[in-house]
Each structure stands twice: as structure tokens, then as C-alpha cells.
Structure 1
């Protein structure tokens, strides 16, 4: 990780704060460049910093005792990493892995805690974001059990595209298999099916989204549900 030299972008949570709260919070943030494959936290490890991705994104991965791994959430410019601190817990339940390199803002956990105590607006916003994350986690559990792999892959590609802000994605079959908790052969068949429908183009780990509308139609309803909850709770500020 290194200080960011890229053009400043935005994080929707920080942008949603009232002006004075936002100015005060940003004064204690540091701009950094997240590096692909960088580990920001391990399960049971202490959370030293809170991260607000700008044009980068982080996978939150559950590790099982037998070595299996499954991505349970993804954080980009719509969110943050460090949610347990909102509950007063300093340990991470997840393996936090940088999946999309790029700029982010970070703030030391202790300083973040002081802002949380002093800003009712920050508390209210992050409590709503925590609800959104809980919704995403529950959807992943149900989606993994009930929905077909092709639809789950379409959903995951859309989520990645949203956070990468690009139609061009670099994702190997091995990585996709780990993220979705399936065998590599299953990913191969699902990717081939989406490519046959001309929704994506896949070659040697490079994926191009050709038809986003078609990919949304091919995905399960979980993708639309995630976006609806985020819009309702974070953007419109309503509680379901």
C-alpha cells in the first residue's frame, strides 16, 4: 500500500455526510493506493484502519476450518471496510482481500471511533449501511444454496462491474471458483453459457461485459434486491 497519487474520486458514504461532518472526517483520512491481492485484515485479527474505497474494491471472504473459502460481500465506492467497529468490536470476522486495485481513503480505527462518538450523522448513516451489509450477507447465504451457478455468476460479474467502473474485468476461473465456492469446471460451464448468449466475452482471464441489460436479466433477483435496498436505505434514507 502506498500514498495515492491518482486523481481524487468519491465515496458515497462520505459524500452523504453533512458538510461540516464531512470536512472534519476527511481531515483525518489518508489517501492510499490499494494493491491487488493485498490483505487488509484476517479473521480474528485486529482492525487497524477503516477503508473507504474510491476507485477500488475489497472482497470480504469467509474462511472455513477445512480450507474452503467463499466471498460473502464486496465493498467498493458505495461502502466501507471496518464495520465491526460500529458495534464496538475491533476484530474482523473476514479475510479482507483487495480485489480491485486503486485509490481509497483510510482512517485509523481509534480516530474513526472518536468521529463516531462525536457525529450523530455519521452514526446514523453507518448504522443504515450496516443494515444494507446484513441484507447482502443474508442474500449471499440464500443465493448460494438455492440459485443456479449461471445466475450467480451473472450477479457476481455485475457487482464487480459496478465497483470496477469498467466493462473490462480480469478474473481467472480459479479466482471465480473460490469467490463463488464451486469447482473450476462449474465456472467454465457457466462462463461458456453466458458467452454463448453473447452477454460476455471471456479469454484467458479477461472478461468483457458485452450486454449489461442481458446480464441483469440472466442474473438472479438478488442483484436487483441488493441495489433496491441500498437505494432505499442509503440514498433515500428510508428504513424498510
Structure 2
């Protein structure tokens, strides 16, 4: 894989890469012996915006653990080619064969929305480690549960809440994963993920900008007032985060 570095004890960059474990909270929360056993099979790669990690129907052979500020969208693709985001994955988790064993055909499409680094491990190797280390299997099972919760909440949000509320919810999720006040995405990408017209998102962004909550520039959104953004959003973001903290307290704690 391009721009990858094998993580072995003989690698002169091993110490620097070790610090990068902190870039992915799920990896950092793994039992130390399980993480050490996975280490020879892991690589660190740079993901570019728009890269498709896997597509509908493909056998998922690699599991990705994004590091800040990388963000990946899991998209449902309709028969006519339209895409709607079902979940967002950043430094808190992983995607691709997270819990399934054997053949892993993808139901949706995984697309990089915010570029950056990610750890990659062969899914078959991760399966082996989950069987060898029950605590690792439990960690990934709980993470999968949190992903299901995020998807369920997204369905409710899309059906019940306004475009502005949904836009604020997504910006909060992106801000959590970015590690800075600049969220690097276009309004067109945001509209695609929300399943609405770009003009609809542009109108919502103008209202938020006029109220001093965000500042939009080409290809980026700056969060000026997080608290106001939280007040303007629906309850969905907070509920998903609260459930995540209950299921994965060791992962949530690593955010510090």
C-alpha cells in the first residue's frame, strides 16, 4: 500500500509510530498484549479525500482505524446511484469487517471525507486476534453496538429534524473528530452525505454564519462557537455520544 510503513520492532521509526497509537482511541484502548500481537500485521497509510476504501458487494479484506483528523463516511447507495450517509467514523473507531468472520461482503460504500492517516490491518488477522484475545473481541463487539446506535439515531434524525438541526449535528460530529476548529469539507460533500441539495445546505450554513456560529470558506468550515452550535443542533449527537461513553468508557477516556 502506498505511503505505508510496517510496524515492526526493527523499524527505526517504531518509537514515533508508537506515539501515533494515540491517534486512534480504539487502538489505544486495546489490551496491550493484543495490540502487541497485531503490531507486525499493521501498517500506517495516508488516505486522500474521496478515496473509496471498499464498495457495495466487495469482500472486505482490510480493517481501517482512522487517526485524527481522518474521517470516513459509510454510505448507503441507492439503485440510481445516489448516496446517503449512514454513519461517520473517525479516530474513535474502525471500519471494515469489524465483527464478522469469514467472507465480509460490504453492504455500503466507505469514502474518505477528511484526509489523513489511518492504521490498516488485514481483516483475517484481526479475526484471529479476536479469537485469541477475548477482551479484544469484546471491545470490537461493543464498538459495533455503538455503530448500530449511530445508524439508528441517524434514521430518526433524518425523519424528524430540520435541515439546520441535521447540519449542526454533522458539524458537531466532524468537529469532535477533526482535533481543531477547522472542519475540512465542502458544502457539496455535506449535502451529499445528508441526501439533500447543495443549495439547501448553503442556506442553512448562511444562517449559522450570520449568527456567528461558523465561518465558511472554500473547502472548509470553521467552528466559531461550539456551545451555540450544540444548542442549535438536535439531541441526536448528544444521545449517540452518551451511549458511546457507556459502552466504551475506556475508549471515551482516551480522548483526554
Report if TM-score (shorter chain) is over 0.5. yes
Indicate the SS of the match to 1:80: coil
Contact 1:86 1:126 in 2 (8 A): no
Indicate the SS of the match to 1:47: coil
Q: CA RMSD in A?
A: 1.8
What are the Cα deviations for residues 152-200 of structure 1, in whole angstroms up to 9, with x where unaligned? 1011011111112121123222211101001112111110111111100
Indicate the SS of the match to 2:59: coil
Tell me what 1:137 maps to: 151
Q: CA deviation at 1:209?
A: 0.4
User: How many equivalent residue pairs?
Assistant: 237
Q: CA deviation at 1:150?
A: 0.3
Q: Which of 27, 47, 59 matches 1:46?
A: 59
Q: TM-score, normalised by structure 1?
A: 0.93
Structure 2 spans left out of the alignment, 5+ residues: 6-12, 252-256
What are the Cα deviations for residues 132-155 of structure 1, in whole angstroms up to 9, with x where unaligned? 000000011110111001011011
Tell me what 1:113 maps to: 127
Say if 1:194 and 1:146 are closer, same or farther in 2 by CA, change over 3 A.
same
Are residues 1:172 and 2:186 paired? yes
Structure 1 spans left out of the alignment, 5+ residues: none
Tell me what 1:72 maps to: 86
Indicate the SS of the match to 2:248: helix
Give distance in 1, aligned partners of 2:99 and 2:56.
14
Contact 1:84 1:91 in 2 (8 A): no
Contact 1:58 1:76 in 2 (8 A): yes
Tell me what 1:92 maps to: 106
Stretches (4+) displaced over 4 A: 4-7
Contact 2:172 2:230 in 1 (8 A): yes
Matching of residues 55-66 of structure 1 within 5 Å: 55=68, 56-66=70-80
Q: CA deviation at 1:102?
A: 1.2
Matching of residues 211-230 of structure 1 within 5 Å: 211-230=225-244
Give distance in 1, aligned partners of 2:31 and 2:218.
45
Higher mean alpha-carbon deviation, 111-120 vs 219-228, is at: 111-120
Q: TM-score, normalised by structure 2?
A: 0.87
Say if 1:50 and 1:71 are closer, same or farther in 2 by CA, change over 3 A.
same
What are the Cα deviations for residues 4-60 of structure 1, in whole angstroms up to 9, with x where unaligned? 698624211122122212211223211111111111000111111001111212111
Q: CA deviation at 1:84?
A: 5.3
